[in-house]
Amino acid sequence: MRFVERGWVSLKLNPSYLLAMKILAIADIHNNVACVRKLRAQELNDYDAIAIAGDIGTHGATEIFEILTTFKCPIVYVHGNWDRLPEDAKFGARAYLVHLEVF
């Protein structure tokens, strides 16, 4: 930091401040395992998190999460109206259901 004549402050930014979080956002998969396979084949492992905004599908959910966990980052998801999964369904150590309990 240095001061100039008029009292302005000039800052040198550390490049680490310029880093951004990369999130892969997905919604409305509707049991389309083939689409998730294609997505995985096209994308690198450079995401900080995956966010799934519902409608994963009941029948393909296990296989879909098996594919997505190969990204090696946390997965957060919510159930949609297409999802008939038990609340205690587990899809790996890095997959987190983030539904809030509504009273």
102 found inside a domain: no
For the residues of 51-90, what is the DSSP string, one character each?
Answer: EEES---SSSHHHHHHHHGGG-S-EEEE--TT----TT--
Q: Over 90: is that where the pLDDT of 26 sits?
A: yes
Amino acid at 69: T
- When pLDDT is cut at 50, 70 and 90, the band that residue 58 belongs to is confident
Which residues form the domain of 72? Answer: 17-97
> What is the pLDDT averaged over residues 16-20?
66
Residue 40: predicted pLDDT: 96
User: Residue 56 CB: number of other CB atoms within 10 A?
Assistant: 28
pLDDT tens track for 59-78: 889 999 999 999 999 999 98
103 found inside a domain: no
The H helix count followed by the E strand count for the chain is: 2, 6
Beta bridge partners of 25: 51
> What is the pLDDT averaged over residues 16-40?
89
Total domains in the fold of the chain: 1
2 found inside a domain: no
10 found inside a domain: no
39 found inside a domain: yes
CATH number for 26: 3.60.21.40
79 found inside a domain: yes
d(CA 91, CA 29): 16
- When pLDDT is cut at 50, 70 and 90, the band that residue 37 belongs to is very high
Q: Over 60: is that where the pLDDT of 55 sits?
A: yes
Residue 3: predicted pLDDT: 42
Beta bridge partners of 3: 9
Residue 75: predicted pLDDT: 93
* Model pTM score: 0.73
Q: Return all residues near 27 (Cβ < 8 A) that are at least 6 apart.
A: 52, 53, 54, 55, 80
